[in-house]
Amino acid sequence: MRGKYRFGDKLLNFKIEIKKKSFTNDHDKSSVDVLKDIDINIKSNEFVCIVGPSGCGKTTLMNIIGGLIEGENQKIIMDGKGLSIDENFGYVFQTSRLLPWLTVKENIELVCEDENITKDRIDSLLVSFRLKEFENYYPKSISGGMRRKVSLARALVRNPKILLMDEPFVSLDQPTAENLYEVLTNYWKKNPITVILITHNLKEAILLGERILFFSKRPATVVYDHVVKSKSDKLAIDDKGVEDEYMFLKKKFPSLLEGLI
């Protein structure tokens, strides 16, 4: 499934620095620190997963990277330059966020303001994601897994340099999730882009990622940077290589998923 790990053989592509991110409660004006001392380097076309305790700030980090909110003293750069959010990012959320009054194809076309995005590009994604025969269906008429496919196609249709995915497979049953793993990895192998995926499922991170960043409890910072060893071609959570690496990490760092090391 996974291509050769590329961390050591390419120049730095994407850098994320955030000194701190806090939120203030409007009711009592109390402040909560969510992120601190974030310093992450990601190589071109690398597939990186982020794992950490619930509520630690993973989604906050994703929203900062995607330009939805800002942190303090932040630096988000690619090849030494600032990023254009519209041109550089695709974003897949925990829910599909499709407009119910638009068809599958119309939901994808919705983000296509650029005339360079042709009908052929949309049709190609519909075919490769096995959605072509459902292009004129409304979201309520297709399955939850298919709605997630549509949201992924919508995120990719503008050829982003970086794909941000915030627990895109959460709440899906295993066969549906594994079908989506195949769709995502097939696209990534044919059209290499940088992927940053948040997941609460360590086995999923081992299966999909080349590298896993483990976050601490809030305020979150990176406590462990793990290069994935498993190279399974079987896109299944119960793959033996995935299970072995999972057990290795759990044994070496029993409290890792709690944000402690």
3-state secondary structure 74-91: CEEEECCEECCHHHHEEE
Question: What is the model's pLDDT at position 82?
Answer: 66
Average pLDDT value for residue range 8-31: 77
The residue behind tokens 């999730």 is 177
Average pLDDT value for residue range 140-164: 94
Hey, what are 110's tokens? 């919705």
For the chain, domain boundaries: 12-258
pLDDT tens figures, 204-237: 999 999 999 999 999 999 999 999 998 777 788 8
pLDDT tens figures, 80-89: 666 655 557 8
CA 213/CA 154 separation, integer angstroms: 26
Question: What is the model's pLDDT at position 85?
Answer: 56
pLDDT tens figures, 117-146: 778 889 999 999 999 999 999 999 999 999
CA 187/CA 124 separation, integer angstroms: 11
Cβ–Cβ < 8 Å for 23, 32? yes
Average pLDDT value for residue range 43-70: 91
- Which distant-in-sequence residues (6+ apart) come within 8 Å of 244 by Cβ? 230
CA 207/CA 231 separation, integer angstroms: 8
CATH topology of domain 12-258: Rossmann fold (3.40.50)
Question: What is the model's pLDDT at position 11?
Answer: 46
**Which percentage of the chain shows pLDDT scores above 90?**
61
